[in-house]
């Protein structure tokens, strides 16, 4: 039963203004994307299809409500699109709110309570990851999108309830055979990262004893061999020291080998099947929601490709899912945040003689690389996006830049490849490598900040007060505190702790287990070894110092 309600309705406990019988009622639902209802009806029912009114329809996910937007009249028929109630969250603004070290559930609760007017939504999440996030002048909908970008997960929309879940859908045992029971299908495939035989390379060119990692079964008619280098910065040599500077090289090398083998096997398993997207205009039994698992047997593979429903269309009138899109990747900017690592790891292998010169050299090389491509770049406009490619036709391009309302994505594996770098509309910059000469930021937060080595230019941290006066400096010489009267305090491994006057003469310092000072003012008392106390006395007979033995 399809019912229509006035725009102010929040409970939907009755049949509303009228029970509608439209000519068409089709729902489109995407994973972390669109969720809308397209309606078509006779013109005589126009009064019920006014902008702002809410339509409640039965779906496989319970009764869901959609808000009507701008009805249009065509040949005595009404056509109107209604957005799911979730999109009302665009009307609730967060001026400035800071989520500090919270899991996803607490982050959603925090943001939902920070809107300019009380939010009608309730929030829930089972994503345990802890992050921080500052939301400034954004709608609640934008904030939820940013949360998904940082914390990950799938957006579950149920009327006034907003949930972010680690997993969506179920495995209902759906198996399809490409070319047999899925003949009428639109397919997009990416075989560029397929690997069945891998040579993993680790720190300083480290190789496994067996050199190659291979799948137990030959999956394809031809081999797919690759050499891939892996970052091993999590294996620290210092962790294998006995505390006196002696390194257990055997244990260190064994840890590197174990880490390299694990990373190689994970890479091999993750890339043993092609990346595919399928769109099927047909009814699929046992498919009912976004995220449902579909096992696809591909004619070129000896294994089933595990895919998930990423979008579907549901006909409310016939009560059937009429279109299903499924795959193991989604190549558009809306979902880049789910496929790009949300942290940037900077690795320093060797000390450079001049960091500034190195960065300027890399910037010059990048500039020249761009200039070299000015005569070999092509712009393709496709309505909802712009592609910049290095070859035509676009299907033969290798380097691709995609621009749409979600942001800018970069791929080196063609238009159907993986966009591993992105600059999204929400302000996220996700890159595999960043070189910066000057960085200005409100907050920098990460796992490890590396400064120094033998090049002091890369190892200085300065702290200034409100008057732009330097008050603390951290560099290769340790920590220096600058006092307002010209005195300084230093702490480092050589001198320990020392305070200096304006001429650089030590005033107080530590030496081993001793503390020295030129002058000392004690306000109350001095206690020595819990056995002797020096205290001030003042009575009618004496004024001075009294010495008291402690019992």
Which candidate, 38, 305, 297, 348, places its Cα nearest to that of 177?
A: 297
- How many C-beta neighbours within 10 Å does residue 194 have? 17
372, pLDDT greater than 60: no
pLDDT tier, 91 (very low <50, low <70, confident <90, very high otherwise): very high
Distance CA 423, CA 410 (A): 9
Domain 92-165 belongs to what topology?
Phage tail protein beta-alpha-beta fold (3.55.50)
Phi, psi angle pair for 43, to nearest 5°: -60, -25
The helix (H) or strand (E) run that includes residue 109 is helix 104-112
Rounded-to-integer distance, Cα 382 and Cα 21, Å: 37
- List the beta strands (DSSP E) in 60-179: 64-74, 77-84, 93-102, 122-125, 131-139, 154-158, 161-165, 171-177
Reported as a pLDDT band with limits 50, 70 and 90, residue 503 is confident
From 46-60, 121-135, 531-545, the region with the lowest mean pLDDT: 531-545
Task: Give the list of residues 6+ apart from residue 379 with CB closer than 8 angstroms, or none.
Answer: 386, 387, 388
* Beta partners for residue 402, in sequence order: 387, 409
CATH of span 171-191+274-330:
2.40.30
Q: Which of 282-296, 337-351, 398-412, 527-541 is the least confident region?
A: 337-351
Contact 255, 263 (CB under 8 A): no
pLDDT at site 126: 94
Across the range 480-500, mean pLDDT stands at 88
Per-residue pLDDT of 271-298, as tens digits, reads 887 777 777 776 677 788 888 888 877 6
| Residue matched to tokens 């004024």 | 543
Which sign does the torsion angle of CA 512, 518, 523, 526 carry? positive
Give the C-alpha distances (Å, rounded to integers) separating 2 from 22, 39, 55, 253, 480. Answer: 8, 11, 7, 67, 72
What residues contact residue 146 under an 8 Å CB cut-off, 6+ apart? 133, 135, 138, 426, 428
Fold agreement between 92-165 and 171-191+274-330: no
Q: Mean per-residue pLDDT for 407-425?
A: 78
For residue 537, the surrounding DSSP H or E stretch is strand 532-538
For range 22-44, the mean pLDDT: 95
Task: Map out the domains of the chain as residue ranges.
Answer: 2-87, 92-165, 171-191+274-330, 197-270, 355-430, 456-517
Looking from the CA of 353 toward its CB, the CA atoms found within 13 Å total 1
Give the neighbor-by-neighbor strand order of the sheet with 488-492: 461-464, 470-475, 478-482, 488-492, 496-500, 506-511, 514-517
* pLDDT more than 90, % of the chain: 37
Any idea which of 55-69, 217-231, 359-373 has the lowest mean pLDDT?
A: 359-373
Q: Mean per-residue pLDDT for 196-206?
A: 90
Contact 233, 204 (CB under 8 A): no
Beta strands of 335-468 (E only): which ranges?
378-381, 386-389, 400-404, 407-411, 421-424, 429-430, 461-464
Q: What average pLDDT does range 160-168 have in this prediction?
A: 94
The helix-helix angle for 104-112 and 140-151 (nearest 10°) equals 170
């Amino acid at each position: 039963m399809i019912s229509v309600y006035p725009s102010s309705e929040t409970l939907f406990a009755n049949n509303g203004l009228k029970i509608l019988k439209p000519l068409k009622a089709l729902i489109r639902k995407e994973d972390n994307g669109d969720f809308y209802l397209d309606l078509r009806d006779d013109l005589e029912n126009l009064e019920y299809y006014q902008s702002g009114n809410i339509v409640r329809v039965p779906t496989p996910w319970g009764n869901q409500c959609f808000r009507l937007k701008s009805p249009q009249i065509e040949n005595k028929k009404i056509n109107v699109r209604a957005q799911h109630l979730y999109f009302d969250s665009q009307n609730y603004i967060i001026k400035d709110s800071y989520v500090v070290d919270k899991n996803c559930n607490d982050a959603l609760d925090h943001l939902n309570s920070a809107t300019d007017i009380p939010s009608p939504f309730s929030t829930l999440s089972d994503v345990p990851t802890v992050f921080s996030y500052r939301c400034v002048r954004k709608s609640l909908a934008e904030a939820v999108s940013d949360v998904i970008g940082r914390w990950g997960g799938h957006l579950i929309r149920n009327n006034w309830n907003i949930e972010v879940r680690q997993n969506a859908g179920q495995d209902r045992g759906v198996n399809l055979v490409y070319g047999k029971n899925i003949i009428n299908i639109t397919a997009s495939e990416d075989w560029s990262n397929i690997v069945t035989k891998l040579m993993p390379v680790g720190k300083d060119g480290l190789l496994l004893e067996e050199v190659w990692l291979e799948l137990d079964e030959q999956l394809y008619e031809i081999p797919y061999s690759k050499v891939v280098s892996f970052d091993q910065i999590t294996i620290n040599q210092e962790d294998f020291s006995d505390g006196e500077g002696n390194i257990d090289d055997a244990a260190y090398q064994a840890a590197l080998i174990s880490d390299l083998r694990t990373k190689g096997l994970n890479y091999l398993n993750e890339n043993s099947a092609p990346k595919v997207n399928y769109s099927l205009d047909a009814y699929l039994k046992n498919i009912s929601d976004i995220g449902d698992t579909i096992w696809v047997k591909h004619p070129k593979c000896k294994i089933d490709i595990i895919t998930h429903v990423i979008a579907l269309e549901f006909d409310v009138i016939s009560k059937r899912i009429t279109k299903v899109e499924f795959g193991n990747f989604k190549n558009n900017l809306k979902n880049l945040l789910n496929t790009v690592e949300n942290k940037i790891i900077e690795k320093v292998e060797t000390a450079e003689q001049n960091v500034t010169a190195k960065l300027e050299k890399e910037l010059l090389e990048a500039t020249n690389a761009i200039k070299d491509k000015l005569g070999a770049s092509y712009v393709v406009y496709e309505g909802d996006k712009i592609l910049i490619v290095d070859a035509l036709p676009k299907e033969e391009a290798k380097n691709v830049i995609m621009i749409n309302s979600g942001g800018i994505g970069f791929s080196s594996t063609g238009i159907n490849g993986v966009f591993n770098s992105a600059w999204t509309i929400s302000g996220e910059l996700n890159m595999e490598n960043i070189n910066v000469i000057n960085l200005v930021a409100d907050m920098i937060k990460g796992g490890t900040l590396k400064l120094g080595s033998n090049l002091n230019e890369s190892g200085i941290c300065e702290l200034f007060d409100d008057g732009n006066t330097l008050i603390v400096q951290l560099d290769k010489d340790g920590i220096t505190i600058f006092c307002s009267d010209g005195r300084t305090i230093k702490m480092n491994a050589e001198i320990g702790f020392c305070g200096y006057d304006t001429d650089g003469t030590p005033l107080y310092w530590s030496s081993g287990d001793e503390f020295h000072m030129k002058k000392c003012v004690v306000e109350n008392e001095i206690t020595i070894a819990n056995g002797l106390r020096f205290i001030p006395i003042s009575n009618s007979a004496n004024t001075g110092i009294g010495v008291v033995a402690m019992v």
